Every structure is written in structure tokens, then in C-alpha cells.
A and B are shown apart, each in its own frame.
Chain A
Amino acid sequence: MKWIVAIPVLFAALILDVSFMSAFEVGGITPKLMVVVVAYCAMHADGSLVRWFALLAGFLVDLSEPSLSGPRAPLYLIGPWTLGMLFGAEAVMSMRGLLVRRNPLAVGAMSFLLSLTSGLFWTAWWALRSWYPDSPPPWGEGAALDELSSQFLGAISTGVCGIPVGWLLLRFSAVWGFPSVLARSRQGGQARIIRQ
């Protein structure tokens, strides 16, 4: 995977997430492009690169989404999305062998999976932190289960958004410099780029 391509795409997705994607908001649920980009990379890139990429993506999301329910609002907490994205990327990598990677539907499905798993981690992390006296969770006094249901709806929304975005990303997959599946299997799981 070429970082010179991945980093600008990641930042573009971040900017669109925080300033543009709410144009597609339905009932307070907004799809996340960052999740689609991470899912797409997790389907194609080398495991170690995917982990770093997921950590970076989650770190940027954590620095962009403050929690507003505490007394010192806004609080940018580093961890919930950073580790959630890593957790989600691992889930996608464990399933990528079963996928038809050139299919946009697969990108949509993996975006759903990554969004759901990272959302689950995010909710669990904040639920854990809510034991602190000065750190109420972002969902306020509501139940964590309600937040999980909205995360589930968000995952569906991201999955649906992942289909057209995945199609677009697949059209330009050559510029990302992903290793081929054949090379990965020859190397015993360690990927290598086969130049054609």
C-alpha cells in the first residue's frame, strides 16, 4: 500500500465526514467515509500496514469528535475510535479470505462490519470511562444499549454508503499499490507486490 495515496485519501475522508456527510443524514444517523476507507484498505493491504492505517484513522476521528456531555466540554478523548478502528480492522482481516474483493458489495459489507465492531468498542470504552466522576459518556444519561442501537443503524448507513464509495475506490485500486493475493499466498501470508 502506498502511503502517499492512503494519507491524502484518509484526510479527504475525514474532512468530508465532519463537514459534508451530514448532507446524507437520515434521522440523526450519518454514514462515515473514514470507516469505508479503512475497510477497503483492510480488505486489500498487508496486515501490519492495515493496523497502522486503522490506528491513524481512529486517532484522527478521536481528534475530530469531541464528547460534549462532561463539565469540561468539549473533550477530545484519544482511544475509543483509535482502538475501535484497530479492533474493526482485525475483524475485517479475519474475514477477507472469504470475500470477492473486486465487488463493491463486499466493500459495503466490510464497512458495515468495521463500523459495527468499532462502534461496539467505542461504546464499551465510554461505558468503562463513565465510572469516572468527571467523565460522563457522550450519550448522557441514556442507556448504553440505546447507543448501541444507534451505532447499529450507523453501521447500516455506513455499509450502504460503502457500496458506491467502494465502487469508486475499486476503480482506482491500481494506484494504491496493493499486493496481489497470489503474491501473498506465495510468501506464506507475507504480501509482496507483483509488478505487471
Chain B
Amino acid sequence: MRRIPLIAIVVACIVMLGLLPTRWIAPLTSDLSSIVWVPLSPVAHGTTIIRLWLRPGKAPLAAADAAVLVERDYYRGLWHAEQIRSQEFERKLSAYEIASGAGQRGGAIRLAAANVLTRTPGAGGLALKINAGSQQGISAGDVAVVDGDGLVGRIAPEVGAVSSTVLSIANRSIGRIDGYVVPADQEKAKRPAVIAIQILPDGKGELRGDIDLGSPVRPGDIVRVKDPSWPLGAQGMRLGIVSEIRRKDTQPLRGEVIIRPAVDPATVGELVVKISVVSKP
């Protein structure tokens, strides 16, 4: 009997593996990838630093200026988050719905700094692998930010012990995000007239949403998160900037807002994960 070559058996196994349903292979290959990348991650981190040094995203600032800007953005993010919370409380008070557990709603947030190891090659760069995982307390759904309030994305399912994947907000699997537009001239106002908007990633690196053409939204306005399905740490974070408003052919009174994400994943080398700490009763 003729012996079957080993390579033919291996190829047949790979063909079968490649055709298995997603729910069977996703956990297995995700773990396998984490194992393969554990020894490679430190080197990849080094080469990422070199890449960012060779091709930085934006012009480097002086150290003092950069520190001031980081601080400003951080407190601006906190301010927007607190503003949303206070508006929520006001609404509840006005409706005589002072819930007994209102004080517990917020929960606590812990920050974890992480370095970007790799990003998905190809157009969009829609996922970043970071060197922090469940050992640091990170869990699926936590948000990653840079510059204090610039939202990068959310932690994907299948969090590894020492690594995890951040899905960019421009990734289609993120789904719809509720947010609000702050007109550029009211960014520093105490009570800015915000416009609610629901946006959806288009999978090509931008976010899109519908809006009434009569609304005061203009290119340059900032869009922030206000979505109950997102963790507390994401509320008020910067999603992006309105880059264009187009009239919809099918609905002439409605417009389509095109939003450029606040953070380009390709230029992110370090980020901060906002870990939601669930308080136990």
C-alpha cells in the first residue's frame, strides 16, 4: 500500500480546521495566538517604538507643553463625564425619581497603562494588541483612551492573561454608539447646547450618523460618548470630530454626518485602559 505523505495529512488537517464553524475554533486559536505571541511581544514592543519614532503621528511637542495638554485633556474628559452624571441626576430629581441606589450607579474606575504591541495590518488598522490583560484586571468591554479623553476603542472578547485586543471605535463590530455633538464654540461653555446623535462605524475608518439638516452641527464640532451600554469610564470621552455633513438623497431634510475618529490607531504607542471596578454589596 502506498504511504500517504505527511505534508498531505497536515494540509488536509488545516483545510478541515479552516472550515470549522467560528464558535468552535475562536477560543482555541485565540489562546494559541496568545501563546505564540508571549515570547515575541517584548521584541514587537521595541520595534513598535522604533516605528513610532520613525513615523510619528503628529509633530512632537515640548515635554512641558505635552504634559499640560495631557492634563487638560484628562480633566476635560472628567468634566464632560461629570456633566453627564449631573444632568442625569437633575433629570431624576425633577421627575421625583431619586432612586435609593443612585449613589452606587457610578461605580469606580481604575486606570491601567498599556503599550501597544501590534496592530492589525492592512487598511484601517482596526485592532491593537496591548500588553495588559486579565492579570491587570482588564475585562471585555473596558475602554481604552489616550490623551486623557481621546477614545481609542473597547477591549474585545477573549481577554488573555497578559495581553488583550482593543477594537477601534471605527471597527464595525463595535456597533451603534449613542453620543452627542458639542459645537466647537461651546466646548468651554458651562452648559453647552448639545445635540444627540447615534453613530455607526462604516468599517473604512470613519463614523457616520443621521442628523436633522436644520441642527447647528458644523464641521469641526466635537462628538462625545453618552451611551448607557458603554461603561462609565467611556461617558463623555471624545469620539471624534465632525468632518463633513452631507444631504441624504433619499431624505432631503436629513443629513449624514461623517465623523473622523479622535484617535488614529496607527499612531498609538501607549494607552490607558479604564477598568470598571464593580462594587460588591
Binding site for B on A (CB under 8 A): 11, 14-23, 25, 28-30, 32, 48, 51-52, 55, 59-60, 62-66, 68-80, 82-83, 86, 125, 129, 132, 134-135, 138, 140-142, 150, 154
On whether the beta carbons of B118 and A125 are closer than 8 Å, the reply is: no
On whether the beta carbons of B29 and A76 are closer than 8 Å, the reply is: yes
Number of A-B residue pairs, CB cutoff 8 Å, is: 147
Q: How far is the CB of B177 from chain A (nearest CB, A)?
A: 16
On whether the beta carbons of B15 and A76 are closer than 8 Å, the reply is: no
Q: How far is the CA of A166 from the CA of B55 in the complex (A)?
A: 24
On whether the beta carbons of A68 and B43 are closer than 8 Å, the reply is: no
Q: How far is the CA of A43 from the CA of B119 in the complex (A)?
A: 30
- For the complex, is B121 an interface residue (Cβ under 8 Å from A)? yes
Q: Taking CB as reference atom, which chain A residue is nearest B7?
A: A51
On whether the beta carbons of A28 and B123 are closer than 8 Å, the reply is: yes
On whether the beta carbons of B124 and A28 are closer than 8 Å, the reply is: yes
| B residues 2-52 in Cβ contact with A at 8 Å | 7, 10-11, 14-15, 17-19, 21-23, 25-26, 29-30, 32-33, 36-37, 40, 43-45, 47-48, 50-51
Q: How far is the CA of A23 from the CA of B15 in the complex (A)?
A: 34
On whether the beta carbons of B23 and A134 are closer than 8 Å, the reply is: yes
With A76-B29, A83-B15 given, can you name 14 additional A-B contacts, CB distance below 8 Å?
A18-B121, A25-B266, A63-B29, A63-B32, A64-B118, A68-B167, A69-B173, A74-B156, A74-B167, A75-B29, A78-B29, A79-B14, A82-B18, A129-B18
- For the complex, is B235 an interface residue (Cβ under 8 Å from A)? no
Q: How far is the CA of A23 from the CA of B125 in the complex (A)?
A: 12
Q: How far is the CA of A64 from the CA of B34 in the complex (A)?
A: 9
On whether the beta carbons of A69 and B203 are closer than 8 Å, the reply is: yes
On whether the beta carbons of B14 and A82 are closer than 8 Å, the reply is: yes
Contacts of A142 in B (CB 8 A): 203
Interface of B is mostly: helix
Q: Taking CB as reference atom, which chain A residue is nearest B27?
A: A72
Contacts of B119 in A (CB 8 A): 18-19, 22
Q: How far is the CB of A77 from chain B (nearest CB, A)?
A: 6
On whether the beta carbons of B14 and A55 are closer than 8 Å, the reply is: yes
**Given A15-B47, A78-B18, A80-B18, does the pair A86, B11 have CB atoms closer than 8 Å?**
yes
Q: How far is the CA of A69 from the CA of B32 in the complex (A)?
A: 20
Binding site for A on B (CB under 8 A): 7, 10-11, 14-15, 17-19, 21-23, 25-26, 29-30, 32-33, 36-37, 40, 43-45, 47-48, 50-51, 54-55, 117-127, 156-158, 165, 167, 171-173, 203, 266
On whether the beta carbons of B158 and A74 are closer than 8 Å, the reply is: yes
Q: How far is the CB of B76 from chain A (nearest CB, A)?
A: 30
On whether the beta carbons of A63 and B36 are closer than 8 Å, the reply is: yes
**Given A20-B51, A78-B17, A86-B11, does the pair A30, B122 have CB atoms closer than 8 Å?**
yes
Top 10 A-B residue pairs of the complex, sorted by shortest distance between their CB atoms: A79-B18, A28-B123, A18-B118, A76-B29, A19-B44, A20-B47, A63-B33, A19-B47, A140-B203, A19-B48
On whether the beta carbons of A74 and B14 are closer than 8 Å, the reply is: no
On whether the beta carbons of B173 and A73 are closer than 8 Å, the reply is: yes
